[in-house]
């Protein structure tokens, strides 16, 4: 039989994440909204709370908790700040290629620092040519003795300016069908973060461009087998990246519902709280249905992932559903709030902006449908 209950331990993880979000994340939100910059204090707090260590095995200084625990943490943090959730979700996305495809030496070298948050991770696939079809990228590598020389640019990269360890996908200079993934480190000659984006939503989660010009990367930094890098990048994005977005979207859905219920109970119209009006109840019910359904999709995929099964198709369904639902929820929350929904002081205006950034991150809804259709037809 299927058991849909969280374990006592998972409930405690949720509580720990909740406490962290309320006490450590919430106070940073106004500044993040104002500056649009990643908060160093928040990164430090996340590291102290062992948030980067969740998916890393204990032998490498991590907690070895797996994906459901990560999902719970992301959901609770995103309920308070989707930007913070996004930042954290991409740390894990950057860690995943090393975790799944890295050599023992690479794991020993990189994972302990990434677990403590001493080093921050990201993954860079997307270029101006797009992210969903990575075969179209223009970044190249070529062998030079024991090293590789990388050239190219990446854009829309989360954590671009704060990450120290970034797995980068590039194409063989001579063979357009061969891709490889390399670990680039901050400070490598010829490698730098360039333009920093100014997003409408998820403000405080850093997004920007990376450039590498004749960047010399030692062969020790090649992840997996040369020429088989596409699988490395896609596995990370499909399972961890997509999964993380589902948790972020669920957090936002829950936040929208919570503020809507509160506002609907407090706002008086015709002498009664508006929560007594059927039209408002209808919206609240819709949000609740979306949240319940989204959670089932998300946690089902996360539990498959914990069992070591491939879950990228299930996460594609969940990603489509929850990010669309988050946009619906933000719209309904805004509608319920009326004029207040347009005011900066009310969180719903932020939810609205954040919900729009959820869509394209880790693949748009249209791309999700392409993937889902491919899965269905296969």
Please give the size of the binding site for other proteins, defined by CB under 8 A: 24
Return the structure tokens found at 307: 């069992």
Q: With contacts defined by CB under 8 A, name the span among 47-55, 211-219, 303-311, 314-322 that binds other proteins.
A: 47-55
Q: Verify binding: residue 339, other proteins, rule CB under 8 A.
A: no
Smallest distance, other proteins to C-beta of residue 181, A:
29
Strands 191-196 and 268-269: unpaired
Q: Where are the beta strands (DSSP E) in the chain?
A: 121-124, 140-144, 147-158, 165-172, 179-185, 191-196, 207-218, 222-223, 268-269, 272-273
Counts for the chain of helices (H) and strands (E), in that order: 12, 10
Measured from the CB atom, the residue of 112 and 360 that comes closer to other proteins is 112
Q: With contacts defined by CB under 8 A, name the span among 18-26, 30-38, 101-109, 363-371 that binds other proteins.
A: 18-26
Q: Verify binding: residue 59, other proteins, rule CB under 8 A.
A: no
Q: How far apart are the C-alpha atoms of 293 and 351, rounded to whole Å? A: 20
Smallest distance, other proteins to C-beta of residue 75, A:
15
Rg value, the chain, Cα: 21
Q: Verify binding: residue 45, other proteins, rule CB under 8 A.
A: no
Q: What is the dihedral of CA 178, 111, 310, 304, to 10 degrees?
A: -170
Q: Verify binding: residue 342, other proteins, rule CB under 8 A.
A: no
The contact mask relative to other proteins for 248-287 (x = CB under 8 A, - = no) is -----------------xx-x---xx--------------
Measured between alpha carbons, how far apart are the two ends of the chain, in Å? 28
Smallest distance, other proteins to C-beta of residue 87, A:
18
Backbone angles phi, psi at 18, to 5 degrees: -60, -50
Q: With contacts defined by CB under 8 A, name the span among 8-16, 119-127, 176-184, 222-230 that binds other proteins.
A: 8-16
Say if residues 163 and 94 touch (Cβ distance below 8 Å): yes
Task: Please select the residue that binds other proteins; options are 28, 50, 312, 368, rule is CB under 8 A.
Answer: 50
Q: Verify binding: residue 170, other proteins, rule CB under 8 A.
A: no
Smallest distance, other proteins to C-beta of residue 19, A:
5
Return the structure tokens found at 102: 């890295």
Task: Please select the residue that binds other proteins; options are 25, 42, 63, 98, rule is CB under 8 A.
Answer: 63
The residues, ordered by sequence, that sit 6+ positions from 47 with a Cβ below 8 Å of its Cβ are 116, 117, 118
Q: Verify binding: residue 20, other proteins, rule CB under 8 A.
A: yes
Smallest distance, other proteins to C-beta of residue 92, A:
14
Q: Which of 23, 37, 32, 74 is nearest to 52 (CA)?
A: 74
Measured from the CB atom, the residue of 130 and 273 that comes closer to other proteins is 273
Q: How far apart are the C-alpha atoms of 342 and 356, rounded to whole Å? A: 15
Q: Verify binding: residue 174, other proteins, rule CB under 8 A.
A: no
Task: Please select the residue that binds other proteins; options are 65, 74, 98, 367, rule is CB under 8 A.
Answer: 65
The residues, ordered by sequence, that sit 6+ positions from 334 with a Cβ below 8 Å of its Cβ are 341, 342, 348, 349, 351, 352
Smallest distance, other proteins to C-beta of residue 126, A:
31
Task: Please select the residue that binds other proteins; options are 25, 47, 49, 183, rule is CB under 8 A.
Answer: 49
Q: Which of 21, 226, 237 is nearest to 122 (CA)?
A: 237
Q: Which of 295, 294, 328, 300 is nearest to 313 (CA)?
A: 300
Q: Verify binding: residue 53, other proteins, rule CB under 8 A.
A: yes
Task: Please select the residue that binds other proteins; options are 69, 80, 121, 150, rule is CB under 8 A.
Answer: 69
Catalog residues that contact other proteins under the rule CB under 8 A.
8-9, 11-13, 15-16, 19-20, 23, 49-51, 53-54, 63, 65, 69, 73, 265-266, 268, 272-273
């Amino acid at each position: 039989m299927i058991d849909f209950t969280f374990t006592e331990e998972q409930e405690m993880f949720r509580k720990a994440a909740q406490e962290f979000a309320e006490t450590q994340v919430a106070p940073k939100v106004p500044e993040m909204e104002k500056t649009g910059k990643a908060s160093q204090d928040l990164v430090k707090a996340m590291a102290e709370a062992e948030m980067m260590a969740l998916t890393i095995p204990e032998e490498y200084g991590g907690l070895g908790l797996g994906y459901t625990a990560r999902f719970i943490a992301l959901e609770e943090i995103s309920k308070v700040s989707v930007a913070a959730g996004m930042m954290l979700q991409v740390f894990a996305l950057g860690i995943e290629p090393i975790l799944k495809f890295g050599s023992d030496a690479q794991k020993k070298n990189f994972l302990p620092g990434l677990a403590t948050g001493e080093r921050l991770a990201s993954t860079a696939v997307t270029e101006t040519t797009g992210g969903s079809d990575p075969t179209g990228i223009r970044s190249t590598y070529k062998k030079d003795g024991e090293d590789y020389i990388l050239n190219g640019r990446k854009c829309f990269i989360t954590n671009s300016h704060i990450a120290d360890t970034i797995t980068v996908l590039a194409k063989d200079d001579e063979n357009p069908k061969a891709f490889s993934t390399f670990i680039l480190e901050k400070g490598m000659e010829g490698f730098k973060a360039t333009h920093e984006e100014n997003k409408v939503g998820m403000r405080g989660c850093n997004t920007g461009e990376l450039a590498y010009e004749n960047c010399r990367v030692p062969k020790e930094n090649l992840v997996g087998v040369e020429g088989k890098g596409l699988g490395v990048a896609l596995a990370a994005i499909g399972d961890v990246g997509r999964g993380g977005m589902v948790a972020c979207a669920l957090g936002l859905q829950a936040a929208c519902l919570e503020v809507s219920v509160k506002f609907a109970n407090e706002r008086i119209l015709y002498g009664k709280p508006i929560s007594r009006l059927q039209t408002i109840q209808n919206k609240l019910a819709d949000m609740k249905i979306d949240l319940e359904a989204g959670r089932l999709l998300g946690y089902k995929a996360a539990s498959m992932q914990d069992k070591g099964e491939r879950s990228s198709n299930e996460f594609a369904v969940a990603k489509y559903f929850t990010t669309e639902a988050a946009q619906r929820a933000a719209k309904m929350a805004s509608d319920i709030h009326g004029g207040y929904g347009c005011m900066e002081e009310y969180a719903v205006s932020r939810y609205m902006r954040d919900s729009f950034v959820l869509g394209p991150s880790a693949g748009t809804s249209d791309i999700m449908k392409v993937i889902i259709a491919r899965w269905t037809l296969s």
